[in-house]
Amino acid sequence: MECILLGTGGMMPMPDRLLASLAVRMNGTLYLFDAGEGTQLGWKRARLGYRSLKVIAVTHLHADHCLGIPGLMMLRAQMEDPPPLTLIGPPGIEDFVRMNQKILEFYINYPVRFIQWTEDAPEIAYEDENVRILWHPLKHTRFCLGYRMEEWDRPGKFNARRAEALGIPQGPLWGKLQKGESVRTEEGQTVTPEQVLGPARPGRRLAYVVDTLPTKGIYRLCQDADIAFMEGMFLPEDALHAEAKGHMTVTDAARIASRAGVRRTVLTHISPRYRDEDLPRLEAAARERFAEVTVGRDQEVYSVPLPP
């Protein structure tokens, strides 16, 4: 799992800080969380391919989180026979995209699937062969979603000696057992994966939480995450501004990450009131509550290793 911060700013793009956007690469597939204005620039700088983009998950319909979607979709249509694209988001995300397409008259040559939040929506918004994506409402000035990405658990460690003792020689049958399939020995005995595999090994967990006041839902999204990208929009001394605008301070985010058991936290969605020389102050304030926290910068890449 590789996480690429395309933009770390909030409200307005800055010369060296684009708006909120996080790309996650898994087994050659790209998943994008938010696409603020100018996301195409971050995408180009990171040299990411449009054919690999499979899912865009949008937190809410504020301009600094969704205005980059039409441009990404238009550029993707420049390819020959691009694969389908799925957009996940709040109520209105389909209207936003369809109306932009209608008014701007831009060309789309691939299927687009929309998954919109509803009151009776299941906890799992999306799943494929790599991951599943969960969502949960947050607490902002308008309806906003947080996301959790979970890689599927991996099979347990294969016990070769046990397989041979059960009459399964090395070869294709070992591969089937490792994939979770039962096999038969030459004598006709059935051997199940549980007989030769250890306990399942957990996959990686990622949380993406921006534009929210502290709320219980954040803990569910961040619980025991390997990495969490959380908004750190304000310093603690600007807490009144944060509360009035529906945002967290860096200490709010650090406190929640620590209590939720997050292994590493990256703060993003930084207010434009802070210049680059102010970022060490935000980081220092957050680390008073949680040591494993850093302030993200545009184009930084975070590799998330498999847990032991």
CB neighbour class for 170 (10 Å; exposed up to 12, middle 13-18, buried from 19): exposed
Which pLDDT belongs to residue 180?
A: 79
Exposure string for 216-228, b = 16+ CB within 10 A, e = fewer: ebbbebbeebbbb
Which is the catalytic residue, given 64, 211, 226, 252? 64
- CB-based contacts of 232, cutoff 8 Å, min separation 6: 248, 249, 250, 253, 267, 268, 269, 270, 282, 286, 295
Beta strands across the sheet bearing 301-303: 112-116, 85-89, 53-57, 29-33, 21-26, 2-7, 301-303
pLDDT at position 258, please?
Answer: 96
Contact 194, 236 (CB under 8 A): no
Task: Tell me how crowded residue 274 is: count the other CB atoms within 10 A of its CB.
Answer: 20
Position 158, amino acid: F
Which residue type, as a one-letter code, is found at position 292? E
Instruction: Assess contact for 185 and 167: CB atoms under 8 A.
Output: yes
Separation between Cα atoms, residue 76 and residue 54, nearest integer Å: 11
CB distance 51 to 20 below 8 Å = no
Residue reference for tokens 């906890």: 123
Q: Give the whole-angstrom CA distance, residue 219 versus residue 266.
A: 16
Cα dihedral: 270, 271, 273, 278 (round 10):
-20
The answer to whether 81 is a known catalytic residue is no
Rounded Cα gap, residues 135 and 18, in angstroms: 24
Averaged over successive runs of 10 residues, the pLDDT of the chain (308 residues) comes to 96 90 96 96 94 97 96 93 97 97 94 96 96 97 97 85 86 84 86 85 94 95 97 94 94 96 96 94 96 96 89
pLDDT of residue 168: 86
Please give the structure tokens belonging to residue 140. Answer: 């902002």
Helix (H, G, I), strand (E, B) or coil at 269: coil
What is the reported pLDDT for 159? 85
pLDDT value of position 194: 85
